[in-house]
Amino acid sequence: MLGRKTFTAEEIDRARTAVRAEVAALRVHDDPALATALLLALDRRFVHRIRAESGKDTNPVTELELLAESLLDHDGVLTPNKVIRYEPERSVLGLAPGARISPDADAVERLADAFLTELAVRFGEVAPV
């Protein structure tokens, strides 16, 4: 699949609904492995987003990208890359480079909400004029 510049409101709303249910399950089970799986699943839904829209600055979209990359490729240790200018103080979770990624339900919910809000701004379909 080619990179995407837009996602529909329906796609974003479906993700919001799924995240609510998944966070509710996480609150019951309180499992760090489930928390990281939820972040990866959220990233996967929108994996084809293009850099020109997501940006290179620290924002919830790039933060989730870095977390997913670090979970998959760096044994769960937050590892900035050469493309995104990561600044912990501007991030949702405030994790420093080198920190272990071990979110709880509140952290997953905060990041997911911020990610989906920012995604709608950066990638939301614009109504025709």
What global pTM score does this model have?
A: 0.94
* 66-123 pLDDT, tens digit each: 999 999 999 999 999 999 999 999 999 999 999 999 999 999 999 999 999 999 999 9
Task: Kindly tell me if the per-residue pLDDT of 38 is higher than 60.
Answer: yes
* 36: amino acid identity, one letter: T
Contact 48, 1 (CB under 8 A): yes
CA angle 65, 97, 60 (to 5 degrees): 35
Q: Is the pLDDT of residue 126 over 90?
A: no
The domain ranges of the chain are 9-122
The Cα–Cα gap between 4 and 123 comes to 8
How much is the average pLDDT of 1-29?
Answer: 95
